[in-house]
Amino acid sequence: MDNYQKQPLKLYVQDIFRAKRTEGNKYIYEIFGIKFKNIMIHGVVTSMYNTTTKSTNFEISDPTGCVQVYYDSTKNNTAVSDATMKDLVKNLSIISRRGDDNAPTMAALLNSIEKKHFNSFDFVEGSNVSVIGDIFIDDLKNTRMLSAYQCKTTTVERDIVWLEELKYIYNKYYIPNMDLKQ
């Protein structure tokens, strides 16, 4: 199981559906002769549904297609627990009462952390996003989806650069690698 790429493989949406499951592990896929588990895609959020305070389903679209994504913000590496938030607020109040010169800076940092903690999604329909996650098959619909563990808002300009990056990667690495495997 250790013979797959550890870093997310940068792909177009269409390749999520073109990748083949490996026989040894249903969570490892292969495309262009490269075995991988995690992927990175960019695109536009075309719809959001089943949204709660901590999770959402959404559809992301790039020039090659659309894919459904499930995102649970509590599974994100940057998620802050409720206990940690309470501790941060408590410590800021102690520092503020002491008259510490760093209190305004710490308050600004806490404000930023709280904003992300209480608003888990900084994207809406129409936002450009970068998504890192794993491919999985929805048993009810028998279709491939993406289980995201990181979603970040990007810009149209960043997505144009992303498409140029992918064009270069496909031409320089993926397609020649596929020719070598045949």
Whether 154 and 106 map to the same domain: the answer is no
Sign of CA dihedral 33, 31, 174, 169: negative
Whether 17 and 47 map to the same domain: the answer is yes
Whether 112 and 154 map to the same domain: the answer is no
| Confidence label for 78 from pLDDT (cuts 50, 70 and 90) | low
pLDDT in tens, 4-60: 888 999 999 999 999 999 988 888 999 999 999 999 999 999 999 998 878 899 999
Count how many domains the chain has.
2
Whether 129 and 112 map to the same domain: the answer is no
pLDDT in tens, 54-68: 889 999 999 999 999
- As beta bridge partners, residue 20 has 30
Whether 30 and 53 map to the same domain: the answer is yes
Question: Which DSSP string corresponds to 57-88?
Answer: EEEEEETTEEEEEEEEGGGSTT---HHHHHHH
The model carries a pTM of 0.77
Whether 19 and 108 map to the same domain: the answer is no
What the block records as the tokens of 65 is 């297609």
Residue 3 placed within a domain: no
Whether 150 and 86 map to the same domain: the answer is no
Domain of 54 in residue numbering reads as 9-76+125-181
